[in-house]
Chain A
Amino acid sequence: MPKRRLLGCSFPVLIGISVVFLVLLVVSFASGPLGAIMFPGVELPSWLSVPQPEPKLPAEAVFHPFGFPITNTMIAAWITMIFVVGLSYAITRRMKLVPGRLQAAFEFLIGWLYDLCREVAGNTDGRKFFPMIATIFLFVGFNAWLGLLPGFGSITVHAAEGEVHLLRPASTDINLPLALALISFVFVEVTALRRLGIGYLRKFFDVREFVSGLRQISKGRLKAGLPQLLTGALNIFTGLLEGFSELVRIVSLTIRLFGNMTAGEVLLLVTAFLVPWVLAVPFYGLELLIGYIQALIFAGLTLIFITFAATPHGEEAH
C-alpha cells in the first residue's frame, strides 16, 4: 500500500516543517516593530531585530583606490559581469551538439532572446541586433536577480562616509540605467544612420516641402505656394517633436529601470525591517518577477526602437 503523501513529503515531515515555519513566523513578527507595537510586553533579544534602513539614492563609495571612488553598485555590477561571463564561458567552453542539462538551459535562455529578436526585427536584422539586445537583457536581469542574494544590503564596511553597505544592486544607482539608456540611444541612432544614410535625419528635420513652398511664392504663385508653406512648417514642427521624443526615451528608460529597482530594493529593506523573516519571502518572489519584467522591457523597447528606426518609412511615416 502506497504511503499517503502531500507536497512530496510524508505527513510527519510536513507537520514538522509547518511547525518550524509557524514558529519562525511568530518570532519574526514579534521581533519586528509591528509586533513590538501590538505586543508591548514581549521583549526579545536585540540580535533578532533588524536596524531601521536609511535608503539613500546616490550610491555610496566603498573604497577610494587612486582617488577614484568605487561604489557598492559598481562592485555589484562587476559581480554580475563575472557571474554571467563565467557561467557562459563554463558552458560554451565545451559545447556539444547534443546538449547536457546546463547547456540546454543556457541555450534555452539565449535561444529565447534570439527568437524574440528575430520575431520583432526579422531574420537577418534580428541576428544583427541580437547581441546588443541579449546583453542588455542579461545585464539588467542578472543585476536584479543577483541583488536578491543574501549579502546584498546586509554586509557593511567602514568607509570614509561612515558605515556603508558593501553590496547594493547595480541598477539602484542611476548611473547604470542612464548608461544603458545612452548606449541604447546611440545604438539605435547609429544603426539607423548607417542603414538609411543621411536621409534618416530627414525624420527630424524635413524642410523639403517648406522650401518648395517658398519657391512657389517667389515665383508669384501665391495660391499654390501658401498651403505648401504651411505643410512644410508642420513637417518641421513634427520633426522637432520626433527628435524630442527620441531624447525623452533616454529619460524614460533610465527612470523606469532606476525607479523600479530602487523601489524594489527599498521595499525589501523595509519588509526586512518590519517582519524580518518569513513574511518578507513573497516580496523576494515579487522582485524576481520585477527583475525579469524590467530586463524584458528595457531590451524589448530597445529592440522595437531599433526595428522602427532601421526600417525605411518613406512618405507614409507621417
Chain B
Amino acid sequence: MEGLGINPSMLIAQVINFGILFGLLYLVAYKPFMRMLDERSRRVKESMEQTEYIKQQAAKAEQETEKRIAEAGKKGQKIIDQAVKIGKEVGQKAQEEAKQKAEALITRARTEIRRERDEVISELRKEFAGLTILAAEKVIDRSLDKETHRQIIDQVLKESPGLKKG
C-alpha cells in the first residue's frame, strides 16, 4: 500500500474534491443544461402544437371559404336570374307603356286635328253666315238689278279678303 502511495488524508481530500466538483458542476453545468433542454423541448412541443392548430384552422378556413364561395355563387346566380326576370318585366312594361303613350298621343292628335277642323269649319260657317247676312242686308237695302247684284257681290268679296283667299 505504501508503495502505491495510498494515503488516507489524500484519499479523503480527493473525495471532497469530487464532491465540490459535483456540486459546482451541478449548479453551473447540469442544471442550466437541463433547464435549457426542457425549455427547448417545451418550445418545440408548443410550436408543433401550434402548427397543428394552425393547420387545422387553415383547413377549416378553407372549407369555410369554399362553402362561402359556393353559397355566394348560388346567391349570385339567383340574383342574376331575378334581375333578368325583372329586366324583362320592366322592358315589357316599358314597351307597353310606350305603346299606350304613343296611342294616346296619336288619339289626342287626331282629336285635336278634328277639333281644329271643326272649329275652322264652324268659323267658316259663321263668316259665311255673316257674309250672307251682309249680302242679304245689302240686297234688302237696295232695289236690285243685275248690274247692282254683281256689284254687291264683288264689293262683299272685296271687303272680306280672308274669304277670297280661303
Interface positions of A (Cβ within 8 A of B): 57-59, 68-69, 71, 74, 77-78, 81, 84-85, 88-89, 92-93, 95, 97, 106-107, 110-111, 114, 127, 130-132, 134-135, 138-139, 173-176, 178-180, 182-183, 258
- Does chain A have a CB within 8 A of B140? no
Least Cβ distance of B118 to chain A in Å? 108
User: B45 → chain A, closest Cβ, in Å?
Assistant: 14
Whether B43 sits at the interface, judged by CB under 8 Å, is: yes
> With contacts A97-B36, A134-B30 known, is A85 near B6, CB below 8 A?
no
Q: Give the 4 A-B residue pairs with the shortest CB-CB distance, closest first.
A: A58-B5, A179-B14, A92-B32, A88-B29
A131 to B28, CA, bound (A): 12
A92 near B40 with CB under 8 A, answer: no
Indicate whether A174 sits within 8 Å of B25 (C-beta atoms), given known contacts A110-B30, A183-B18.
no
Q: Which residues does chain A contribute within 8 Å of B43, judged by CB atoms?
A: 97
Could you jot down 9 A-B contacts, CB within 8 Å? A58-B2, A58-B4, A69-B9, A77-B14, A85-B29, A106-B29, A114-B37, A179-B12, A179-B14
Total interface residues on B, CB under 8 Å, equals 32
Residues of chain B having any CB pair with chain A under 8 Å: 2-7, 9-15, 17-18, 20-22, 24-26, 28-30, 32-34, 36-37, 39-40, 43
Beyond known contacts A85-B25, A92-B29: 5 more, CB 8 A cutoff: A93-B28, A138-B25, A174-B5, A183-B18, A258-B4
Return the contact of A132 from the options B3, B15, B22, B37 (Cβ within 8 A). Answer: B22
Contact A85–B5 (Cβ < 8 Å): no
Are the C-beta atoms of B28 and A178 separated by less than 8 Å? no
Write the chain B residue with the least CB distance to A59.
B5
Contact partners of B26 in chain A: CB under 8 A: 131, 135
Given contacts A59-B10, A95-B32, contact A81 B21 (CB under 8 A): yes
Q: How far is the CB of A74 from chain B (nearest CB, A)?
A: 6
Interface of B is mostly: helix
Q: Could you tell me the distance between the alpha carbons of A74 and B18 in the complex, rounded to whole angstroms?
A: 12
Q: Which residues of A contact B33 (CB under 8 A)?
A: 92, 106-107, 110-111, 114
User: In the complex the two chains form, what is the Cα distance from A71 to B13 in whole Å?
Assistant: 11
Minimum distance in angstroms from A7 CB to a CB of chain B: 37
Beta-carbon contact of B25 and A176 below 8 Å: no
List the A side residues contacting B3 at CB < 8 Å. Answer: 57-58
